[in-house]
Amino acid sequence: MSGQLQGGSPSNHSLAFRVMRLCRPSFQAEEAVLRLLDPLDLLAAEDILVDPSLPPDDLLRISDPSTPDAVANSDFTFRDRFQIRNPVDAMALSGLLIVPQSFGNIYLGETFSSYISVNNSSKFEARDVIIKVICSGLLPLPKCFKHGYQQIFQRGSLDEHVPKGVVMYPVISLWDSYCCFLKKCKAEIQTERQRILLLDTSKSPVESIRSGGRYDFIVEHDVKELGPHTLVCTALYNDGDSERKYLPQFFKFIVNNPLSVRTKVRTVKDNTYLEACIENHTKSNLYMDQVEFEPSQQWTATRLETSEYSAEANSETRGLLKPPVLIRAGGGIYNYLYVIKSTIEEFGQSKVDGSSILGKFQITWRMNLGEPGRLQTQQIYGTPITQKDIELQMLDIPPIIILERPFQVHLSITNQTDRTLGPFEVFTSPGISNDEKFVMVNGIQKLVLPPLEASNSNIFDMNLIATGLGVQKISGITIFDVREKKLYDPLPDVEIFVDTTTTT
């Protein structure tokens, strides 16, 4: 028994909706049924041609697919299910397409396309048929029955007892009967999402659907909301007794999130980089047709990519086989890297701070036979970096540093504002950790620097000494603006190698 569920009470309705999701077809590889072989490989030893005394022509004739059959009545032949014509045929891809065999998954950004057929399986004509198809986020439900709705909704789920087949089965009938009743009583119905009308024949009703006949249509809907959706199909018609009947049927599907995009903004020296990682949450491999970063007005973005695809030795095949960007199903990732530059030339370097909007991503992916999906990310912001009025840089470290021998490092201090700053004090601060420091200032602990005018730099030396061997860090060199009482972030750690005295 096919366990078909119908909306309303089946025996009372002449009409019924048949709904099938119409995503694009796929290529069928027929290797499960066909194992094509060369008869020579079946009937002869594999080293048959090693013996030069054998007449190869006789043997090879067996392989020839055009040899007529010895037995008469060779019209009725399934030769192509047995004998291979060309070894490449083992790929089993003849180009045969197969319709989608199950509803599959549907994702945000895709287009939900569906074949809908209104069948008249009764003995009587149905006349003046008004058909409406609405796609809504959730079923309409009366406020007081929200809890009950959940239970019925889940009980009527597509996953239960649905025989193998491509046609969608409607949600269990109880609820839609109840909804009709509510509509008649004009009860208050709460709809939680927008209802989108996909088809409405009210203006020109279908005059007649004869007994055994059908009225077909295809609807398409760009999926823009996540979560459970309902396709509400209704038909209002006159049945054989000229009674005006109302048939509602509800088909449920769930929209999932296909991708997540994680971004990171980093500033390295003078450049700002945007790194985006796209993760595929779907059950299919996604071909990234287009991933474009659209910067906001004050920025330009250039994609950086390695040419992993090395020059093909065979130039004829080169153009054909550029590896596509294919992100694997169920958690595969792919990374994109961009350099962000300011379009407005400010003095000094362009700074990306936490409040600047960098732009957003437009992503188009494709699945079988080009089935597209499109998504756009939200605005991406630069990471918050404190604007540095004073830039401190380590210019120079001596190549050889000997334990317990003082050495000099050269530093520069740059005033990146438009006013004079300073005077300054430079010292090493203990830092956050309580680790013992093996590199310290030799001599006066606090260096005083004179004030610095706008956009000017000053180079100065610090005298340091190392008290530990091996790899050590110069850390905690800090600048303090005496007048403004402003302490700046310390210079990032610099690694040095401390050697023993070289003995001759």
> Two tokens at 496?
């040095």
Q: Which of 12, 64, 98, 224 binds another protein (CB under 8 A)?
A: 98
Q: Which CB sits closer to another protein, 84 or 466?
A: 84
C-alpha R_g of the chain: 37
Contacts of 150 (CB under 8 A, 6+ apart): none
Q: Which of 197, 277, 339, 369 binds another protein (CB under 8 A)?
A: 369
Stretch that binds another protein, among 16-24, 445-453, 472-480, 486-494 (CB under 8 A): 16-24
Residues 242-281, one symbol each (x = binds another protein by CB under 8 A, - = not), give: ----------------------------------------
Any contact of residue 201 with another protein (CB under 8 A)?
Answer: no
Q: Which CB sits closer to another protein, 285 or 458?
A: 285
Q: Which CB sits closer to another protein, 56 or 492?
A: 56
Q: Which CB sits closer to another protein, 181 or 309?
A: 309
DSSP element (H, E) containing 196: strand 195-200
DSSP 8-state class, residue 384: P
Cβ proximity of 272 and 358 under 8 Å = no
Q: Which CB sits closer to another protein, 137 or 373?
A: 373
Stretch that binds another protein, among 90-98, 146-154, 300-308, 456-464 (CB under 8 A): 90-98
Q: Which CB sits closer to another protein, 133 or 274?
A: 133
Question: Taking the complex as a whole, how short is the minimal distance between the CB of residue 246 and another protein, in angstroms?
Answer: 19
Q: Which residues pair with 232 in a beta bridge?
A: 134, 250
Q: Which of 317, 378, 379, 503 binds another protein (CB under 8 A)?
A: 317
Restricting to residues 398-457, name those near another protein by CB under 8 A.
none
Any contact of residue 225 with another protein (CB under 8 A)?
Answer: no
How far from the centroid of its chain's Cα atoms is residue 117's Cα?
Answer: 33
Any contact of residue 39 with another protein (CB under 8 A)?
Answer: yes
Instruction: Return d(Cα 298, Cα 292) in angstroms, integer.
Output: 17
How far from the centroid of its chain's Cα atoms is residue 97's Cα?
Answer: 26
Cβ proximity of 106 and 42 under 8 Å = no
Q: Which of 329, 339, 395, 400 binds another protein (CB under 8 A)?
A: 329
End-to-end CA distance of the chain: 98
Any contact of residue 88 with another protein (CB under 8 A)?
Answer: yes
Residues 17-36, one symbol each (x = binds another protein by CB under 8 A, - = not), give: -x-x-x-xxxxxxxxxx-x-
Question: Taking the complex as a whole, how short is the minimal distance between the CB of residue 242 and another protein, in angstroms?
Answer: 23
Stretch that binds another protein, among 293-301, 320-328, 339-347, 453-461 (CB under 8 A): 320-328
Number of Cβ atoms within 10 Å of the Cβ of 404: 13
Contacts of 479 (CB under 8 A, 6+ apart): 390, 392, 413, 424, 425, 426, 487, 488
Question: Taking the complex as a whole, how short is the minimal distance between the CB of residue 373 and another protein, in angstroms?
Answer: 10
Instruction: Return d(Cα 25, Cα 10) in angstroms, integer.
Output: 32
Any contact of residue 50 with another protein (CB under 8 A)?
Answer: yes
DSSP 8-state class, residue 223: -
Q: Are strands 326-327 and 286-295 parallel, antiparallel or unpaired?
A: antiparallel
Q: How far is CA 81 from CA 31, 73, 96, 388, in A?
A: 10, 17, 15, 75
Q: Which of 157, 201, 285, 342 binds another protein (CB under 8 A)?
A: 285
